Amino acid sequence: MSPAPAHRTRRSAAVGTVLAALLLASACGGSSSTTSSGSTPSAASSKDAALAAKLPAAVASAGVVKVGSDVSYAPVEFFDTDGKTVTGIDPDLAKAVGDKLGVRFEFTNATFDGLIPAVQSKRFDIVWSAMSDTKDRQAKLDFVDYFNAGTSILVKKGNPEKINSLDDLCGKTVALQRGTTQEDVATKQQDACKTAGKPAINVLPFDKDTDALTQIKSGRAVADVNDFPVAAYNAKTSGGGNDFQVVGEQIAAGPYGVGLRKEDAQLRDAVQGALKAIIADGTYDKVLAKWNVEKGSLKQAAINGGS
């Protein structure tokens, strides 16, 4: 977490109000290298020789797939309490995919809006970072879709500004993560506000969603727009559940995708095959259940299925 994360988004951000069905966590964005050691729920997820044979020889030989990720988007990806281990939905799914392929997915923390250029320049092999699969992004990378999320609006607990939809944000200040699809959502809403004869939204973009959330606490912004799992998690956990709440309906749900260079079709197809395998054997469902995000289940593992 879609344009960005957009839907990050990191982006995409968000079926927002069902907190019991969506709990989860948040961290930082930077450039430190960390390795995922996600504890995937037990299932029949050992190495599949036929799938492993699909890997490019260089990747199979190295035994490692280098992953670029903005590790500040709990519960999708975030640092564990040791400040080093990357945990969350994406690392757990990556571990399960790696088990099928017989390789390790090594996550490195980076700023979200720099992830696609970093893959294009071959600093990373793939992006796995709650990144929404959109047509704009498909012009740069191929995506293997694995989760469905939309945008949610997060406000101060008690909703003092009575925000219930994007229209209610006209003339107000909104904080969000730079480079996400939420930034696109806010830009489009600015036009809608003007068309309706209302003042435009004042958008405050930040490199990290955690910084955007701080603006709500300080009163500088009335809302943050981000992906539904993240919005729900923050509403549930921040300040013991007393800082924020999710309002309104989820907006423009779409798929997250694992992003790969277009010339790396062999690696793309191996990742897709492994995703399909963990969906078929139940490992995928166990990961989503672990993080209480079953409502984001997306079982086709399509290539470039976003719009």
Most confident of 9-18, 28-37, 208-217, 260-269: 260-269
Q: Which residues have C-beta within 8 Å of that of residue 304, sequence separation ≥ 6?
A: 133, 138, 142, 143, 145, 257
Six-digit token string for 122? 């071959």
Half-sphere exposure of 213 (CA within 13 A, CB side): 27
Residue 249: pLDDT band by 50, 70, 90 thresholds? confident
Per-residue pLDDT tens digits for 183-241? 999 999 999 999 999 999 999 999 988 999 999 999 999 999 988 888 988 998 999 99
Answer whether residue 288 shows pLDDT above 90.
yes
What are the domain boundaries of the chain?
Answer: 19-148+255-294, 150-252
Per-residue pLDDT tens digits for 66-91? 999 999 889 999 999 999 999 999 99
On whether the CB atoms of residues 43 and 221 are closer than 8 A, the answer is no
Domain 19-148+255-294 has CATH 3.40.630.30: no
Comparing 135-149, 160-174, 223-237, which segment has the lowest mean pLDDT? 223-237
- In this prediction, residue 43 carries a pLDDT of 44
Q: Cα–Cα distance between 302 and 286 in angstroms, integer?
A: 20
The overall average pLDDT reported for the chain is 87
Comparing 20-24, 150-154, 163-167, which segment has the lowest mean pLDDT? 20-24
- Coil, strand or helix: which one is 147? strand
- Coil, strand or helix: which one is 200? coil
Whose tokens are 């910084």? That residue is 211
* Secondary-structure class of domain 150-252 per CATH: alpha beta
Instruction: Give yes or no on whether 19-148+255-294 and 150-252 have one common fold.
Output: yes
Answer whether residue 138 shows pLDDT above 50.
yes
Answer whether residue 21 shows pLDDT above 90.
no
